[in-house]
Amino acid sequence: MSSPPNDETAPQPVGLVEQLVRDDVDRKRFLKMAGGAGAASFGAFVLAACGSSSSKTASTAAAPATTAAATPSDSGDVAILNYALTLEYLETEFYGKVVAAGLFKGSVGALIKEFGQQEMTHVEAIKGAVEKLGGTPATKPEGKFPIENASQVAMLAYTVENLGASAYLGQAGNIQNPEVLASALAIHTVEARHAATLGTLVKKSITPDGAFAKPADMSTVLAAVKPFLA
């Protein structure tokens, strides 16, 4: 792997972890963008998010869900997953712009590209499951990201991935369906591994919160991503 950016030359991106005022208007705007709760349960989400290669199995698992009445817990879980989908949209767009900028070469460049592809897989898994079950996926937001130099972008990626992992962890206790919870945690652990790898790249801690990761609630995540919404 080529030499990682020097930590001293990689400034913390302004605004990303800034704790902004928890404005209810901004919160409602973000939730509206993420889409309302769908009317179907998320039994097939497990197959999609975990990367099942059997379309026949996925189709069979999804069939009962299209006729089942939604429960309050189903609706809450769908809203959470659409919130997660919106974050995945932003991560995918970010990595796409980084790759297009050509700031990273060799093995590091390949790693960044792979991370972007995995974020895109997260998007397609969640979006595909929502559509298959008759729900409405979150609307893709338009992002804006400072893409200045390799050191700045590497630090930004490290912070974004830690935020994503914290966002999933922050919703874990609110998810009612055990299968949805398992799938969300399957994505959470990948986000955390991305963050740890990037921590090595920028010479930052791979476990910034110590032995126990800290969850981030929706308001905190909204404040963090607000500067990157066009």
Nearest Cα to Cα of residue 95 among 76, 77, 114: 114
Mean pLDDT is highest, among 1-10, 44-53, 122-131, for 122-131
Question: What does DSSP assign to residue 203?
Answer: T
What pLDDT score does 7 carry?
A: 41
How does pLDDT run across 57-109, given as a tens digit for each residue? 333 333 333 333 444 445 677 788 888 999 999 999 999 999 999 999 999 99
State the SS3 of 47-97: HHHCCCCCHHHHHHHHHHHHCCCCCHHHHHHHHHHHHHHHHHHHHHHHHHH
- Decide which of 95 and 21 is more confident: 95
Asked if the model's pLDDT at residue 114 lies above 70, the reply is yes
State how far the Cα of 40 lies from the Cα of 30, in Å rounded to an integer.
22
pLDDT, the chain, mean = 74
Dihedral of CA atoms 73, 78, 80, 82 in degrees, nearest 10, equals -170
Sign of CA dihedral 15, 20, 26, 30: positive
Asked if the model's pLDDT at residue 49 lies above 50, the reply is no
State how far the Cα of 88 lies from the Cα of 71, in Å rounded to an integer.
26
Task: Report the SS3 class of residue 104.
Answer: coil
Over residues 43-62, the mean pLDDT reads 34
List the domains of the chain with CATH numbers. Answer: 25-228 (1.20.1260.10)
Residues 6+ apart with CB under 8 A from 5: 150, 151, 154, 155, 201, 202
State how far the Cα of 99 lies from the Cα of 80, in Å rounded to an integer.
29
State how far the Cα of 69 lies from the Cα of 10, in Å rounded to an integer.
51
Asked if the model's pLDDT at residue 18 lies above 70, the reply is no
What pLDDT score does 57 carry?
A: 33
- Is residue 26 a contact partner of residue 229, using CB atoms and an 8 Å limit? no
**Which residue has tokens 């591994």?**
193
Q: Which CA distances in Å does 86 have to 2, 31, 68, 210?
A: 32, 9, 26, 28
What pLDDT score does 24 carry?
A: 46
What pLDDT score does 130 carry?
A: 65
Over residues 177-199, the mean pLDDT reads 89
Share of the chain above pLDDT 90, in %: 50
**Would you say how long the chain is, in residues?**
230
How does pLDDT run across 124-174, given as a tens digit for each residue? 988 876 665 566 888 999 999 999 999 999 999 999 999 999 999 999 999
The pTM assigned to this predicted structure is 0.69
